[in-house]
Structure 1
Amino acid sequence: MNFPSQQPGTIQTPGFAHYSVAWSPFHTTRLAVASAANFGLVGNGRLHLVSSNPNPGGLSRLSLDKQYETQDGLYDVAWSEIHENQLVSASGDGSIKLWDVMLNDLPIRAWQEHTREVFSVNWSNVKKDTFASSSWDGTVKIWTPERPRSVTTLQAHHSCVYQALFSPHQPDILSTCSTDGTLKIFDLRSPAYVTTGPNVNTFTNPISAPALTVPASATEVLSIDWNKYRPMVLASAGVDKIVKIWDCRMVKPGGSSQVGGICETQLLGHEYAVRKVQWSPHRPDILATASYDMTSRVWTTTPAPGRPQLLHINDTHTEFVVGVSWSLYEEGVLASCGWDGRVNVFRP
């Protein structure tokens, strides 16, 4: 079902497949896009800064303001919550870089602790001097921009961690998803440390035990997001093509950690793996998804008579759609990006 909508504003960046798009929390028209050459398999990366300016006819006009070259592909980007001109990028070479958009060339800081690809970065909008990274090395690391090394390491999974997100409600709660099909929630206030022997200094070993483990899928979970209005409610999506809504207040004992989570709703319709899910910042029942079926979609979790769960399909991309992001200032405006090198801004 495809309801009428505006034609999207579009910008093309030839030679670079997009992996992530994010709206600035400070500037209403500013977007950042993380990209990689050769679909991220080999080669360099590029961080694009894009402006989305409305035209009199109602369509957004996208313009490329600036770009930064990197030695390896970029998989994710996150704007700082304390500095309007700064953002961090996640790279395939395991590095994390902090950029200032007022400077033209090099990052202002770089970290190299992950041993494999960094697949996500997320800035806490509660504890605003803190951001998290997740990697294919199975770890999640917590950072502050001023420190030369990470603050905390979580041995979150024993396989690659696709995403790690701080709760928008509680500063020390963080969720992860992984190739092992689980969604995990960690409480950074009550760590449980890895112990590998009687003489191990537990204070230098990473946190390993989650506060809650949700068996979310029999296959890989590629993306998660916290509901902005309902604490402890998350959406998950992945290879099984299903978007699932979890109430993580419901738990049962599970040894060293809790196991549980109630699946409230399942959203069906994507034809291939769902690569990204994101709740609306303006509505508690609306979320957007991006998929390898070359579409981005908008859903509601509270269907009504004459109003199905699937509200809109945007099918203007010609390759995998891997990123989607809601505008924080203009309700109902979405940006999507894909392997076709296109960024679309549209209003469903």
Structure 2
Amino acid sequence: MEFRTQGYNGYAVKYSPFFDSRLCVAASANYGIVGNGRVYVLQLTPQGIRAEKQFNTQDSVYDVAWSERNENQMVVASGDGSVKLFDLNVNDFPVKTWKEHNREVYAVHWNLVSKDTFASSSWDGTIKIWSPERDTSILTLPTHSCTYSTAWSPHSPSILSSVSSDSHCRIFDLRTPASSSNHLVALIPIHGPPPTLGGTPNPMQRNMPPAEALTHDWNKYRSTVLATAGVDTIIRSFDVRNPRGGPIAMLEGHKYAVRKIAWSPHLSDVLLSASYDMTCRVWSDGTNNTNTHPGIATGGGSQIGQMDRHTEFCTGVDWCLFGSEGWCASVAWDERLLVWDVRSQMGPQAHGQQ
């Protein structure tokens, strides 16, 4: 299934946590460099995908997150430094706007456990936590570098993470005293620490030049595992209990930067990625010993499928939470939303296209 975001280049797509037939797409004119943004709320019907609602913004929009407690609301990250809350029952304008960030807001994420707060991260080097009922932010967490992605843990209402241009993943625990650490409990060097003398090196830990980290996601089944990816094209998974122990898996295959990754809500070892090489790929991180997926073995995991229908940079991907496992949606700068079945791309036939 396909929908054209005519005149607007896709940046993010999210399935509704309430309905298997509702999607939201954040898109921007002129590839998000300059111009307006548009938020599409789409309905999957037997006759195809139709636009249920759309909201226009005066600046680019880069990310969207559905409310976890109100089926009609979503929050949007904007290029003018604002965060906007839209409601499907209100036409044209946001029901609330916050503007505390000093630069582009690149990510928003709703608290999956407590459901009463959401977070935003910005190029201004901060993460802010918000409540829909408050006019100002609840808390600001400094990262001191351009922060491309922030996410609440799906296992705890108090744990929040981010990845930034400084090649680090940060873990914050809001239950800890703020003090001088600002709730920071772990700092993971994505590309490895400086080499040290002695000791047995982790075979997964290659000391590589730092590169900007653009995306990350928490595993839905293993509470201490998350994955990161970015400019250097490699997807790495980490166990936050051992922040300097190096990655537990490295997944290689993309030719250009990885813009978005998402762990499966159905399978503990499977994740999906979207890349500037115009492909979306599905991977196993190798942790499921009963995994019988065929694929190309790489650094503790394997690529098990590839979708190459997009004709421009792939920027967003998300899994459907409902129904049989495997349905997902992707967006790209080719002004197209595609809804497809990951299972149809898995197996040896997918690798024959490479």
Which category of TM-score, normalised to the shorter sequence, fits these structures?
A: 0.7 to 0.9
Task: Tell me, yes or no, if structure 1 residue 285 matches structure 2 residue 277.
Answer: no
- 1:250 partner SS: coil
Task: Tell me, yes or no, if structure 1 residue 39 matches structure 2 residue 31.
Answer: yes
* Contact preservation (8 Å) 1:248, 1:262: no
2:7 is matched with which residue: 9, 15, 19?
15
User: CA–CA distance in 2 between the matches of 1:89 and 1:306?
Assistant: 37
Task: Tell me, yes or no, if structure 1 residue 212 matches structure 2 residue 186.
Answer: yes
User: CA–CA distance in 1 between the matches of 2:43 and 2:241?
Assistant: 40
Q: How many residues are treated as equivalent by the alignment?
A: 314
Corresponding residue for residue 321 of structure 2: 328
User: CA–CA distance in 2 between the matches of 1:48 and 1:193?
Assistant: 42
1:113 is matched with which residue: 71, 80, 100?
100
Partner letter of residue 346 of structure 1? Answer: W
Partner letter of residue 337 of structure 1? Answer: V
Query: 1:311 Cα deviation (Å)?
Result: 1.5
Query: 1:105 Cα deviation (Å)?
Result: 1.2
Shift in alpha-carbon separation, 1:54–1:280, aligned structure 2, 3 A? farther
Residue deviations 1:280-337, cap 9 Å, x none? 0111001000000001111111285662221111111111000000001132101000
Residue deviations 1:131-164, cap 9 Å, x none? 0000000000000100000000000x22210011
Corresponding residue for residue 236 of structure 1: 228
Q: 1:113-132 to 2 correspondence within 5 Å? A: 113-132=100-119
Shift in alpha-carbon separation, 1:306–1:312, aligned structure 2, 3 A? closer
**Structure 1 segments of 4 or more deviating over 4 A?**
303-306
* Contact preservation (8 Å) 1:117, 1:136: yes
Mean alpha-carbon deviation: is it higher for 297-306 or for 275-284? 297-306
Corresponding residue for residue 257 of structure 1: none
Corresponding residue for residue 176 of structure 1: 162
* Contact preservation (8 Å) 2:176, 2:183: no
Corresponding residue for residue 351 of structure 2: none
Flag structure 2 segments of 5+ consecutive residues without an equivalent. 192-209, 296-301, 343-354
1:250 is matched with which residue: 233, 242, 253?
242
- 2:31 partner SS: helix
Query: 1:65 Cα deviation (Å)?
Result: 1.6
Corresponding residue for residue 203 of structure 1: none
RMSD: 1.4
Task: Tell me, yes or no, if structure 1 residue 85 matches structure 2 residue 92.
Answer: no
Query: 1:103 Cα deviation (Å)?
Result: 1.7
User: CA–CA distance in 2 between the matches of 1:104 and 1:314?
Assistant: 36
Query: 1:71 Cα deviation (Å)?
Result: 0.4
Partner letter of residue 185 of structure 1? Answer: I
User: Structure 1-normalised TM-score?
Assistant: 0.88
Shift in alpha-carbon separation, 1:16–1:306, aligned structure 2, 3 A? closer
User: CA–CA distance in 1 between the matches of 2:245 and 2:171?
Assistant: 11
Query: 1:53 Cα deviation (Å)?
Result: 2.8
* Contact preservation (8 Å) 1:99, 1:108: yes
Query: 1:249 Cα deviation (Å)?
Result: 1.1
Corresponding residue for residue 200 of structure 1: none
Flag structure 1 segments of 5+ consecutive residues without an equivalent. 1-8, 56-60, 195-206, 252-259
Shift in alpha-carbon separation, 1:70–1:284, aligned structure 2, 3 A? same
User: CA–CA distance in 1 between the matches of 2:71 and 2:245?
Assistant: 36
Query: 1:261 Cα deviation (Å)?
Result: 4.5
Q: 1:293-304 to 2 correspondence within 5 Å? A: 293-302=277-286
Mean alpha-carbon deviation: is it higher for 136-145 or for 61-70? 61-70
Residue deviations 1:31-81, cap 9 Å, x none? 0000111000000100001112356xxxxx221221110000000000000
Partner letter of residue 311 of structure 1? Answer: I
* Contact preservation (8 Å) 2:128, 2:140: yes
Percent of matched pairs sharing the same residue: 50
Corresponding residue for residue 129 of structure 2: 142
Query: 1:191 Cα deviation (Å)?
Result: 3.6
Query: 1:28 Cα deviation (Å)?
Result: 1.2
* Contact preservation (8 Å) 2:107, 2:148: yes
Mean alpha-carbon deviation: is it higher for 325-334 or for 295-304? 295-304
- 1:132 partner SS: strand
- 1:38 partner SS: helix
Partner letter of residue 320 of structure 2? Answer: S
Partner letter of residue 313 of structure 2? Answer: F
Residue deviations 1:83-105, cap 9 Å, x none? 01001000000000111012221
User: CA–CA distance in 1 between the matches of 2:255 and 2:99?
Assistant: 37
Task: Tell me, yes or no, if structure 1 residue 99 matches structure 2 residue 86.
Answer: yes
User: CA–CA distance in 2 between the matches of 1:162 and 1:208?
Assistant: 19
